């Protein structure tokens, strides 16, 4: 498990771990042992930490969300996107935008209105 406690604490604006321990209501040495990985917190303690930090247990444990897609092509496309660098991602998004602009290539599922990437992003 890749505990993200220090990273999430700092992202939440708690620079001092002793102050954060006080916010949680735990002994500062107990908290330090959690952050250093020398001791494990209980599930209840982990839940309390997530409540204060505004994160999920998965985020606290360093787990990446698992995405599932009913359509295997969508899953493949997402995999390609995630494996690309920023330049590749931009090119893929631009290609999708260009393809969705033409009525001859756009097929709307169940007659639903199409919301293009540019309109979804506020452009």
Give this prediction's pTM: 0.54
Domain boundaries, the chain: 5-61, 67-103
Task: Measure the CA–CA gap between 57 and 47, rounded to whole angstroms.
Answer: 7
Confidence check: pLDDT of 106 > 90 = no
Instruction: Give the tokens for residue 27.
Output: 């002994």
Helix (H, G, I), strand (E, B) or coil at 121: coil
pLDDT digits (tens, 9 = 90+) for 56-91: 999 999 887 777 888 888 888 888 888 999 999 999
Handedness of CA 26, 30, 32, 36 (dihedral sign): negative
Confidence check: pLDDT of 43 > 90 = yes
CB 49 within 8 A of CB 30: no
Query: CATH number of the domain at 5-61, please?
Result: 1.10.260.40
């Amino acid at each position: 498990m890749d505990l993200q406690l220090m990273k999430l604490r700092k992202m939440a604006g708690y620079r001092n771990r002793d102050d954060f321990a006080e916010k949680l209501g735990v002994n500062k040495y107990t908290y330090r042992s959690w952050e250093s990985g020398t001791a494990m917190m209980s599930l209840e303690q982990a839940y309390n930490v997530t409540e204060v930090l505004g994160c999920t247990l998965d985020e606290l444990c360093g787990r990446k969300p698992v995405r599932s897609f009913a359509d295997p092509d969508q899953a493949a496309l997402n995999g390609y996107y995630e494996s690309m660098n920023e330049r590749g991602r931009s090119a893929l998004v631009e290609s999708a935008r260009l393809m969705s602009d033409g009525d001859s290539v756009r097929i709307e599922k169940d007659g639903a209105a199409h919301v293009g990437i540019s309109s979804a992003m506020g452009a």
